[in-house]
Chain A
Amino acid sequence: MARKGKNLRRWNYGLIISAILIVIMAASFQTLRRAWFRVTNNFFYPYINVPAQIKYLAADGSSRLYSKQELTAKISKLEADNRVFASKVARLGELVVENEKLRSLVKLPKRSAYTYIAAEIILRDPLRWKEGFVVNRGSDDGIIAGTPVLCFNPEYPDKVLLAGVVKDVARHSAQIMTVLNPRFRISGYLAEAKTHGIINGDASQNFRPDEINISFLSTRKKFTPSENCFSSGFEHQIPRGLLIGSLIGLDSKNQIFSNKLYLSGKVLPAAQLDDLHFVVLAIPQKKKAL
């Protein structure tokens, strides 16, 4: 009987301690999540980076298979390419100086400066492939949460595409939330309708696979299908004019009965997220103190 009572008391203590632990965990969830991410990512980074390292080692090793003549031909081709790129860079340098001069003449504000760094995707959730990934650049490279992640798509040859934003940063790696992540929230600008909207702003909007939700669009504007949606520049770190995607259509036009004061729609992302291996991170340069 006494043993039974002891067991019961032990169970009660166990339950109370677990309840307290759950409350503490819930209260400090966000802090714990960030701390845990940083610690584990800093620890696991060399191991996660192994496939990329193996790939580079194999690429380096494969160059030994070429004959001397083949290697010489490759070097001379690379030198020729380098000369072309060097002339292009010199021309761009001239244009930058000219642009600065013209801006100062017409008293336009200075262009916001960004440092661009390339990053390789090293980790992805196989079951949520398009919603996020981890890249091999972190706070040591100057990346902070909210840094825009850019990519390119041959279907849009002259446009820079927004693939996502940095969600969390460790020393050598960063977690990226793509435009297809339901938690991705920024403002978008529809160029032809000349109006702004919020991506994933309306929680009541239904999600569809491979489509981005956009809401709070003006009811007074006319929208054309496949018009481009760009970043608006309202966010502190994300420059304006980055292509997010093209408008597929509006969700519901019946504003009278739905009692909504705004329109919602769907945007097809421009970035090919299922076949993405490299991205570019645009780090805003720190402004000098006055």
Chain B
Amino acid sequence: MANLYALIIMLMLFWLQLLFGSFALHLPLCVGGIFYISIAFSWRQGIFWAVLTGISLDLFYSREFFLSAWAFIGLVIFAEYWLRKIDMRHLRNCIMPGVIIAFISVLPVWLYKLAIYRDNTVFVFKDMLPVTISILCINAFLLPVMVLLFDEIGEKLRLPLFTKANKRLLEG
């Protein structure tokens, strides 16, 4: 059931991210989903979805550089670290990871642009900084909302919850 739930979450988020992307709006929804799955279910599932989503996203966007999968794997490592360090019961503790994972989602494009326009870093900063700042701000609020929504559905389906991940970790 948890696997099916993860599949539905990721398919929906992937589709929504592509949809908003078509309107020039980069919403890092997939990274939010991977972060949720890594904490609520397990880091193994997180890695699976990170690789799959990263490769798919790069292919859909016709990116020649396959950095997203690596960046998303880094996100799963960060999620595991955050789970062991911070109490996940409080949604306010999702604001900071929201900012960090949003930065992870744009990191591959930063690296790509810095490599391509290596003699014109001012352009890269001018082009990417406004987008990055807006994404960080949006995702700081978006991630707690996503966690709230997915946990609400997960509770009804009797699935492992994000907000009870610390307890499960201690018991396991």
Contacts and interface: CB of A to CB of B under 8 A. Distances in A.
B109 A207 contact: no
Contacts of B64: 183
Contacts of A206: 118-120
Given A51-B19, A209-B120, A37 B109 contact: no
A122 B127 CA distance: 23
A127 B123 contact: no
A208 B56 contact: no
Contacts of B61: 123, 125, 127-128, 132
A125 B117 contact: no
A125 B21 contact: yes
B60 A124 contact: no
B136 to A, nearest CB: 14
Contacts of B123: 208-209
Given A36-B55, A167-B62, A124 B120 contact: no
A126 B25 contact: yes
A10 interface: no
B120 A207 contact: yes
A114 interface: no
A47 interface: yes
A40 B26 contact: no
Interface of B: 15, 18-26, 55-56, 59-64, 106, 109, 112, 116-120, 123, 127-128, 131
A50 B18 CA distance: 11
Given A47-B15, A48-B18, A207-B116, A33 B24 contact: no
A11 interface: no
Contacts of B21: 123-126
Interface string A152-172: 000000000000000110000
B49 to A, nearest CB: 15
Nearest to A124: B22
Given A122-B22, A132-B62, A134-B60, 10 more contacts: A36-B59, A37-B59, A51-B22, A123-B61, A125-B63, A126-B21, A182-B116, A183-B64, A208-B123, A209-B123
Interface residues of A, number: 31
B19 A50 contact: yes
B76 to A, nearest CB: 15
A84 B138 CA distance: 51
A129 interface: yes
A175 interface: yes
A128 B109 contact: yes
A85 interface: no
In this complex, which of A36, A51, A127, A206 has the most chain B Cβ atoms within 10 angstroms of its Cβ? A127
A211 B18 CA distance: 27
A44 B62 contact: no
Nearest to A121: B22
A177 interface: yes
Contacts of A208: 117, 120, 123
Contacts of A182: 116
14 contacts: A36-B59, A40-B59, A44-B18, A51-B23, A125-B63, A127-B131, A128-B109, A134-B62, A206-B119, A207-B119, A208-B117, A208-B120, A208-B123, A209-B127
A126 B24 contact: yes
